[in-house]
Amino acid sequence: MALPGFDAERRTDRLTSTVGPEEDRFVAWNAALRASAGGRESAFVDLDAVDHNLRLVGSQLGSKFALRLCDKSLPSLPLLEYMMLAAGTNRIMAFSEEMVRELLVRWESDVDILLGRPASVEALARTFATLDELGSEPNHAGTVRWLVDTPERMRQYAAFAAERGEAISVSVEIDVGLHRGGARDADQLRAMLRTIAESGFLRFTGFMGYEGHVPFVPLDRGTPAAEFEAVQRRYAEFVRVGREAHPALFEGPLVYNSGGSRTYHSYTDDLDTPVNDVAMGSVFFYPSNFHNLPEVGLRTATFFATPVLRRLDPAETYPDAEFLPGLARGQADFAVWYVMVSGGFPGDRHHPKGLIPSPTSTGDPTRIVNMMPNQGRWLGARDVPLDVGDFIFYQPWEADAVRWLAYLDVFRGGQLLDQWKTSQPGTRLT
């Protein structure tokens, strides 16, 4: 199926999926996993919740802003395809060299890719080389909006493009307050734009100015709302400086990207800003580290699940077999070991309620302990509704945690419909 065009109308308002009560979802998922995926770990996505979140976000994001999906937080090509078609966008923000290759091989120039972090000229060269080997003609790597953060890197890009004799699209990273990278001032911006103007092989496509610091402004430094307004003024000043220095570069339509899952709701139609493109990803999965977002209607769309391998009653532990049974006489939660197929996941145990860690563990919930897939254990009372073969569910801390497993199970209406491959990090040398 063809992707939406670059200027396609957003269609998140057409999504109609509903999400049931939380407890009902887990009951349905447990039954479906037992029937179709018994005995194995699962990272899964609930498309009903994804649709719900797409519709909600689409209703909050101003109509003058294009929606760009972040592949880092949605690390699966089939998932991205589903969401692009559902939302009416072909815009992706890519963060890994391997994902750029996958996107280009799958959709060639039909997908609009903006880098979310700068790529070295070596990564640029490897991407071109991969598509050369695949016989891509023209080489679609030139259509990517490669993010460039310094005058030196821009000169390296210009030299590479001249050597190939082929146009390369570039977007300039600007520092609007995060201080993580990009042009810090007018002089650095002018230097990068000058290289573009003089190269003959670099095609200027706009700016990227990430403002991820805004929600975390210290109380003694102001407020997030005030800093957000300051970000828009800084962004506008970079646009003004660039346009005055090199007006010819600014004649065509440009992408001015910013935003993220924690700030998208502030990009409303009455906002005075040059930004016209807002990228986000985690908000559509709503992992636990994003539960402080101001929108309370979002629903978690992804979980890990692992089956119970053994139920050991009474719970005992080496070297004192009476230690846990002794504790259980005063607190029923220490009565039974529920032994999992896996050791754990990068997330919080979410369902069922009533399980507790071993009293001999570190007790630090922020520390990842025994993540190897080798029989992790939880303690619980005898009336915890958990039998051998039932699943224990974890809510990921971050959306990109689903790449912990190679495949993403796909649910709709409580039923397991499909498996989608996740995009694993790491680049194979060509």
> Both 274 and 160 in a single domain?
yes
Backbone angles phi, psi at 427, to 5 degrees: -120, 130
Q: Are residues 358 and 232 in the same domain?
A: no
Q: Are the beta carbons of 143 and 114 closer than 8 angstroms?
A: no
* End position of a domain, from candidates 290, 314, 335: 290
User: Are residue 282 and residue 308 in the same domain, yes or no?
Assistant: no
Do 313 and 408 touch, CB atoms closer than 8 A?
A: no
Nearest to 298 by CA among 12, 52, 11: 52
42 part of a folded domain: no
Q: Is residue 378 part of a domain?
A: yes
Flag whether 412 is in a domain. yes
Number of domains in the chain: 2
| 100 and 222 together in one domain | yes
pLDDT for residue 277: 98
Amino acid identity at 101: R
Whether 25 maps to a domain, the answer reads: no
125 and 183 belong to one structural domain: yes
State residue 361's pLDDT score: 64
330 and 231, same structural domain?
no
Residues 139 and 227 in one domain: yes
In order along its 430 residues, the chain shows pLDDT tens digits of: 799 999 999 999 999 999 999 999 999 999 999 999 999 999 999 999 999 999 999 999 999 999 999 999 999 999 999 999 999 999 999 999 999 999 999 999 999 999 999 999 999 999 999 999 998 788 999 999 999 999 999 999 999 999 999 999 999 999 999 999 999 999 999 999 999 999 999 999 999 999 999 999 998 889 999 999 999 999 999 999 999 999 999 998 999 999 999 999 999 999 999 999 999 999 999 999 998 887 779 999 999 999 999 999 999 988 888 989 999 999 999 999 999 998 778 899 999 999 998 886 655 555 555 556 688 899 999 999 999 999 999 999 999 999 989 999 999 999 999 999 999 877 776 5
pLDDT of 186 reads 98
Residues 404 and 359 sit within 8 Å (Cβ to Cβ): no
The backbone torsions φ and ψ at residue 249, rounded to the nearest 5 degrees and listed phi first, read -70, -20
Domain boundary among 290, 316, 337: 290
**Predicted TM-score (pTM) of this structure:** 0.94
Domain shared by 375 and 258, yes or no: no
Residues 276 and 349 in one domain: no
User: Of 290, 313, 341, which marks where a domain is finished?
Assistant: 290
295 is a domain residue: no
**Tokens, residue 221:** 């430094």
| 266 and 311 belong to one structural domain | no
Give the residue from 175, 239, 255 showing the smallest Cα distance to 209.
175
Residue type, 219: L
Within a domain: 31: no
250 found inside a domain: yes
CB contact set of 3 (below 8 Å; sequence gap of 6+):
81, 84, 85, 90, 107, 110, 111
CATH number of the domain where residue 115 is located: 3.20.20.10
Whole domain around residue 336: which residue ranges?
Answer: 302-421
Q: How far is CA 332 from CA 214, 329, 392, in A?
A: 46, 7, 19
Same domain, 226 and 176: yes
Task: Give CA–CA dist 97/80, Å, rounded.
Answer: 16
- Whether residue 38 lies inside any domain: the answer is no
> Residue 423 has what DSSP assignment?
-
Tell the residue number behind the tokens 């800003």, with chain if given.
Answer: 273
**Residues 269 and 332 occupy one common structural domain:** no
200: phi > 0 → left, psi -120 to 50 → alpha, else beta; which?
left
197, 207 contact by CB (below 8 A): no
Residues in the chain: 430
